[in-house]
């Protein structure tokens, strides 16, 4: 399935990211896609802009609430910016 590859684009574009070494958290954004991962031992409340919606998650308990997303340990979520082209 090339759905995500088409959404992100195959080449070019800057990647921005954040890494919480002590907590074991990582997040990065490229174009209209944001990926958040929690490799730590406790839940992570990650701030997300209101314009992002959940695209895929490794755990059914993951879901955005207001401008945060709660990530349990050993989980990943992919979000998509919903206001692209507005």
Q: What is the pLDDT of residues 36-58, one digit of tens each?
A: 999 999 999 988 888 888 999 99
What is d(CA 73, CA 13) in angstroms, rounded to the nearest whole number? 30
To the nearest whole percent, how much of the chain has pLDDT over 70? Answer: 83
Q: What is the mean pLDDT of residues 62-85?
A: 86
77: alpha, beta or left? (left if phi > 0; alpha if psi -120 to 50): beta
Of the candidates 28, 8, 11, 10, the residue with the CA atom closest to the CA atom of residue 19: 28
- Sequence-distant (6+) residues with CB within 8 A of 17 are 26, 27, 28, 29
**pTM tops 0.85, yes or no:** no
| Whole-number pLDDT of residue 19 | 85
pLDDT in tens, 9-27: 555 677 888 888 888 999 9
């Amino acid at each position: 399935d090339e759905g995500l590859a088409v959404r992100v684009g195959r080449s070019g574009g800057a990647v921005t990211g954040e890494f919480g070494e002590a907590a074991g958290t990582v997040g990065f954004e490229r174009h209209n896609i944001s990926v958040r991962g929690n490799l730590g031992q406790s839940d992570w409340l990650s701030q997300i802009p209101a314009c992002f919606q959940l695209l895929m998650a490794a755990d059914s308990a993951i879901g955005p609430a207001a401008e945060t997303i709660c990530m349990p340990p050993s989980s990943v979520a992919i979000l998509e910016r919903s206001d692209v082209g507005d």
